[in-house]
Structure 1
Amino acid sequence: MIGVVVTGVAGRMGSTIARLVEEDSQLTLVGATEAPGHPWVGWDLRGFLGVGEGVKVTSSLDEAITVETRVVIDFTLPQATLAHLETAVKEGVAMVIGTTGITGKDLERARSLASRIPCVWAPNMSVGVNLLFKLVGEVARILGEDYDVEIVEIHHRFKKDAPSGTAVRLAEKVAQAL
């Protein structure tokens, strides 16, 4: 069994991931975190999500990581992700990161940290969207500078990053191709 810690477990992605981990016979939920002061901190996760019996929600990844932990799955906020990367490197555990909006020196630091552990980091985990990234670059290269590109996106009102990491990556692929 692969021991998984989910950060931001009360969020849309975090709660979905915790439930999916529980459904997978090859994975086991061994830890969960939320931001300091969140009402779930200190309580058993099962009481909130119906999964993760015996998993206490903590505000510290250091506390959540156990000897069984092999991977941390992180869909939080940029500053939290940086702190989680530092902890994962210190503890020698892998990370899957879906957090977007990390820029500038923080992005350089995050890339440096991520290079020191097994890490999957993508603005969108969908196979279809990752194929779209590839295709957008090819289309931009073929059409060239004779065409204008516009990226339009619509999200629920609770979306934390606008433009989204997906939109930013699409724009990067177009820019790289031209």
Structure 2
Amino acid sequence: MIKIAVCGAAGRMGGRIIAAINETEGVELSGALDRPGHPMVGQDAGYNAGLGAIGVPISDDLNAVVAGCDVLIDFTTPKVSLKNLEVCALHKKAIVIGSTGFTPEERALAAELAREIPAVIAPNMSVGVNVCFKVLADVAKILGEDFDVEIVEAHHKMKKDSPSGTAVRMGEVVANALGRDYNKVANFHREGICGERTHEEIGMQTIRGGDIVGEHTVYFIGMGERVELTHRAHTRDMFSRGSVRAAKWVATAKPGVWDMQDVLGLR
């Protein structure tokens, strides 16, 4: 039985992950963590997941929670995730990180911290989205230089980072397939007389509003035709189920940074 602890256990995503753990064979919830001072600290983690009492209280003691698990699942913020990764490394525990908004420097630090423990770090745990990542590379290579690329993503109004980590990864996948540097060709802003789009740029557009769970569309726009690849998330459950699947995989993985392409065997 793989023991899984959940960081952000009092949040919406944390509750769905705990519910997914409860529904999955071969795993059990060993700990639940949230920030010091949160009003739900001390309460049973099952209530936030809609399960009733399950005998696992929400704690604010990171070291104790990590010490008691095999894998920590973390959907928080880059700063918190890096701290959790550091503590997991100290205790030689695996970690699954679904946080988004990492800078290149933070990604490098995560790789450094994960030299001696296995860590799955992915902007999106959805099986469908990760199939899209794989397909996008093939589509970009086949369509080649004759098609302009634009990416549009939409999320709920409470999402803090923009563009989404999934949209950034889609841009990186397309750019790599076309032999471009995403950091040089991504265009996040068009306003006024901005001139014609360049041949190599990849437009990144963001929509925020209401309770949209997540939508991503990559447009390949040619002369006289257009190809669109869209993924729409209807609930957060696909992310939570994917994170538990990643936790089962990473529990026996070798040290280093992995992603959902590895978990799903898509490489």
Residue 130 of structure 1 aligns to which amino acid in structure 2? N
SS at match of 1:119: strand
Query: Aligned partners of 2:150 and 2:52: how far apart in 1?
Result: 42
Q: TM-score, normalised by structure 2?
A: 0.62
**Contact 2:8–2:75, Cα closer than 8 Å, also in 1:** yes
Cα distance, 1:48 vs structure 2? 3.8
Once superposed, what is the RMSD of the aligned Cα atoms? Answer: 1.7
The superposition leaves residues 23-47 of structure 1 with CA deviations (integer Å, 9 ceiling, x where unpaired) of 2231111111112221112333234
Query: In the alignment, which residue of structure 2 is the partner of 1:57?
Result: 58
Secondary structure class of the residue paired with 2:96: strand
Residue 62 of structure 2 aligns to which amino acid in structure 1?
A: L
Contact 2:10 2:45 in 1 (8 A): no
Q: Could you tell me how far 1:59 is from its partner in structure 2? A: 2.2
Find the counterpart in structure 1 of residue 172 from structure 2. 172
Letter in 2 for 1:54: G
Hey, what does 1:147 align to over in structure 2? 147
- Return the letter of the residue paired with 2:55: G
Q: Distance in 2 between matches of 1:138 and 1:177?
A: 8
Cα distance in 2 for partners of 1:6, 1:17 equals 7
Letter aligned with residue 55 of structure 1: V
Q: Which runs of 5+ in 1 are unaligned?
A: none
Aligned to 1:23: 23
Contact 2:72 2:94 in 1 (8 A): yes
Number of residue pairs aligned between Structure 1 and Structure 2: 177
Larger gyration radius, structure 1 or structure 2:
2
Find out whether 1:135 has 2:135 as its counterpart.
yes
Instruction: Classify the secondary structure of the residue corresponding to 2:63.
Output: helix
Specify which structure has the higher proportion of strand.
2
Moved over 3 A (4+): 46-52
Q: Unaligned stretches of 5+ in structure 2? A: 179-267
The structure whose RCO (Cα within 8 Å, separation 6+) is larger is 2
Identity %: 49
1:132-173 Cα shifts (integer Å, max 9, x gaps) = 111111211222222111111111112232211110000001
Match of 1:126 in 2: 126
For residues 25 and 52 of structure 1, what CA distance do their matches in structure 2 show?
A: 19
